[in-house]
Structure formats: structure tokens, C-alpha cells
Amino acid sequence: MESPKWLGKCPACNQWNSFVEQLASPRGNKLAGHRQSPVQPVTEVNLEDEERFGTGIVELDRVLGGGVVPGSVILVGGDPGIGKSTLLLQAAWEISSASGQVLYVSGEESARQIAMRAKRLGVMHKNLLLFTETAMEAIEAQIVGYQPRLVIIDSIQTIFKSDLPMTPGSLGQVRECTGHLMRLAKEQNISIVLVGHVTKEGSLAGPRILEHIVDVVLYLEGERHHAFRILRSAKNRFGSTNEIGIFEMGGQGLQAVVNPSEVLLAERSEDAAGSVVVAILEGTRPVLLEVQALVSSTVFGNPRRLTTGLDHNRVAMLLAVLEKRAGLHVNNFDAFVNVAGGVRIQETGADMGIALAIASSLKNKPVVPKTMVVGEIGLTGEVRRVAQIQRRLLEAEKLGFNKAIIPYSNYREYVEEKKIDVIGVRNISEAMEAVLGGG
């Protein structure tokens, strides 16, 4: 809604400080200089495949759907220090070496700082152009003048339009600057990558409309003190949002992890109680991860429940199911559950692995070696089916696993040749019998 004067609280949605000041356009001048596209029947629209160019980074191209589409606008978000600028600088070097000039616009760092990072990463190239500026008019002039293959804006919260009275980073500035860059990308057929700040909750800072304007929204996730990073796609107008890219941070920047399951399981001890391997899906890619649990007697009145890489409420629910449905007395024990490698599991298909890791630690009995577990657990203790069971079993087979515990409903559907011993279970008690030798 609009208001002729300043209001602290919106009378429509009852939110404070949600009004944004805007200058009214002069009457009769709203379409001045505006380029209109012709009206045409949908049957006459050119449907040829869009031309893409690769970034030279396999995992990044996977998430983008095969490469960068000319004229697209890509928004990249992530926590401070997670590696956004490093990844984009590496991609800028690859593109400048193979496809043409790349313009790196920085509003936060000096050209010297960026050049020092580029030298450390070994990504120096004459086609990689640096420009430290925050004024939209100056940035537009350089984009039109150089006509680069790709433009990187780091970050969008530092850019401002001089004809708007708001400060850089405000809702109005971020929205107007993003919209202006979107129009510029379409008119000049130049791809633009925007780096966006995130809030403490992990979402992109600024108006929600920011994500609606751009073509692609990517999130770089991971723990700063762990080596692995996951690049996820939250929106992609030119490809699937089911793909992820996995990287490892090293001295030479972010390196693509071709086989994440093998890397994440490299240091696992097979004869340790409380350790279970689960098969999860990250996008369409199956990944094997190690879930660790440590159950010990509590010295306080209330037992502690600590999780790393898992939903705390989900683990609390599984502990209640083990107590009520499987007869395990865990209410008087502290439970610590962790996903090795700093990866976060969001899929419910890891439920059975989490429950069996807790049971293994409580009984101090290791799980049968070379066993993979997958399945969702309901409140009645039943094991429910998961999607794409064939992909998960194939990944386990590649890494030398010879036994898999899966939901019985998936077992009935699994008709391919069984190269590993596949056991279907109906409930958590049957699963404990299969891997621990007793409920």
C-alpha cells in the first residue's frame, strides 16, 4: 500500500519500519526511454536451446544446469567467510581464460586486496578486470563500454543509485539496483552474478522480492571450521533445483569433490559402537555419510540432548520412539549425535541410521561391518519407504558395502540384480535385530 507521509507501523500488516520511501515519477514521463518488446503469439516464440558457457568448475556447472545462460542474473548467498568470493574469483579466472573478459566489481574490498587473493589462488589473468565502485551509474558505464562475458557484483548491498535518497543497503536501494541490473543484463545479453549478504537466520538480506527478480538463487553452505562446502540451488529458471555441488576448502581455494562419499567415510572406524553409515540424497546425488552417537549415563537431573548436523527435534522424536516402541531405556542417558565431516542432514531417510547409532552406543555393540542403512521412522516405530532406493544401493555397492538395511516397502519394489545383501525391515525392532543381533 502507499501512504502520502511517513508511518512507523503499517496499518495493513501491522509491521514496524516496513515502509520504503520512493520518489514519485513525473506525470506523463513513466515510459520515457523505456524499450517495449513486441506482442507475439506463443507459437511464434523462438524455442531454440539457450547457449550456455561453462564456468570451468564442474560442480558449479552442475548446480547451474550445465553452465551460465547469457543475459541471466545469478544471486549467490552464504555466511561471511564461507567462500563466496573465493568461488566466484576462481570461476572468473576460468571464464576469462576460456571465454573472454570478466568484470569483477567490488564495493567492499580494494583492487589490491582482490589481486592479492587472486595471486594466492593462482588465478591471475589479463582478461580479469577489477573495478572498485559502488555507484550504479559508473558500473553501468563500464559494463556497456567493455561488454564483458560475465559481471560479478560483490556485493549488491553496497551498490546505490544516486537519484534515490535512501542509503546503500536499504530495501529501496537493493530492490531498485537489482531491477536495474536485471534490465541491463537482458538488454546487453551479459550475465551478471550478484553476491548477497545473509541474515543471522541464514536467509538473504533485503526484500523478498530480490529472489523473485533474479533468474538463479544459489546458497553456499557449510561450517567455517570444516573443509567441506555445499552449493545448493534454491531457484533456477534454466535448470533443476535438485542438484548440489560439493567442494573442499584448501590452500588453493575451493576444489570440487568428485566422490564425496569416499572422502567423508575415509576416516571411519568400522568396529566402533555408535557408528552407522546412512545413504541420503542431496538433490539427485546419493551420498553416504557416517552418523555417530554417544550415549552415556547422565550426572544431572535432566539428560542432555546435543546434535550436530541434524535437526534437534527430529533426534528427540527418535529417542522417544526407541523408548516407547523398541524398549530401550534412554530417558536416563545423555545422547550426543553427530554427522561426521561437518555436513548437515535434512532428509528423513536418515532416521533409521540415527536410531540404530543410538541403540548401538547404548548396547555398546558395533553395527555389522560394511552395512548401509536407510529408512524413515514413524511415531509407531514403523520403517517407511524412501525415494530412489536403487541410486542409494548402487552408491553403497561402489564403495564396497555388502549389506543394506532398507524399508520393507522398498524391498518389495527392488527388482534389480542384488549384488549386495539387501534386508527389508518393517519396524525399528527388526532393524535392530538385523544389525545388532537383538532388540
Q: Is residue 46 part of a domain?
A: no
Check whether 24 has a pLDDT greater than 70.
Answer: no
Return the closest-CA partner of residue 104 out of 126, 130, 67: 130
Cell numbers representing residue 269 in the block:
572406524
**280: which strand partners?**
287
Residue with cell 536501494: 173
292 & 185 share domain: no
Instruction: Return mean pLDDT, the chain.
Output: 89
Q: Do residues 422 and 408 make contact, with C-beta atoms less than 8 angstroms apart?
A: no
Q: Do residues 286 and 394 make contact, with C-beta atoms less than 8 angstroms apart?
A: yes
Q: How confident is the model at residue 28 (pLDDT cuts 50, 70, 90)?
A: very low
277 & 214 share domain: no
Q: Which of 258, 293, 311 is the last residue of a domain?
A: 258
Q: Is residue 78 part of a domain?
A: yes
Q: Is residue 380 part of a domain?
A: yes
91 & 67 share domain: yes
331 & 246 share domain: no
Q: Is residue 100 part of a domain?
A: yes
Q: Which of 237, 258, 279 is the last residue of a domain?
A: 258
For 348, the domain range is 262-436
CATH code at position 217: 3.40.50.300
Q: How many domains does the chain have?
A: 2
Rg (CA), the chain: 26
> In the prediction, which pLDDT does 50 show?
64
Task: Tell me 190's DSSP state.
Answer: -
> In the prediction, which pLDDT does 43 show?
86
164 & 294 share domain: no
How far, CA to CA in Å, does 303 sit from each of 131, 210, 296, 336, 360? 56, 44, 9, 10, 18
Q: Is residue 39 part of a domain?
A: no
Q: Is residue 21 part of a domain?
A: no
Q: How confident is the model at residue 99 (pLDDT cuts 50, 70, 90)?
A: confident
Question: How much is the pTM?
Answer: 0.78
77 & 203 share domain: yes
> In the prediction, which pLDDT does 116 show?
95
288 & 246 share domain: no
266 & 231 share domain: no
Q: How confident is the model at residue 27 (pLDDT cuts 50, 70, 90)?
A: very low
251 & 270 share domain: no
Q: Do residues 346 and 278 make contact, with C-beta atoms less than 8 angstroms apart?
A: no
Check whether 423 has a pLDDT greater than 60.
Answer: yes
Residue with cell 550415549: 295
248 & 272 share domain: no
When pLDDT is averaged across residues 310-317 and rounded to a whole number, the result is 96
Q: At what angle do helices 428-436 and 351-363 cross, to 10 degrees?
A: 50
When pLDDT is averaged across residues 350-368 and rounded to a whole number, the result is 96
Q: What is the pLDDT of residues 119-171, one digit of tens each?
A: 999 999 999 999 999 999 999 999 999 999 999 999 899 999 999 988 998 88
170 & 286 share domain: no
Return the closest-CA partner of residue 315 out of 300, 298, 294: 294
219 & 324 share domain: no
Q: Do residues 333 and 297 make contact, with C-beta atoms less than 8 angstroms apart?
A: yes
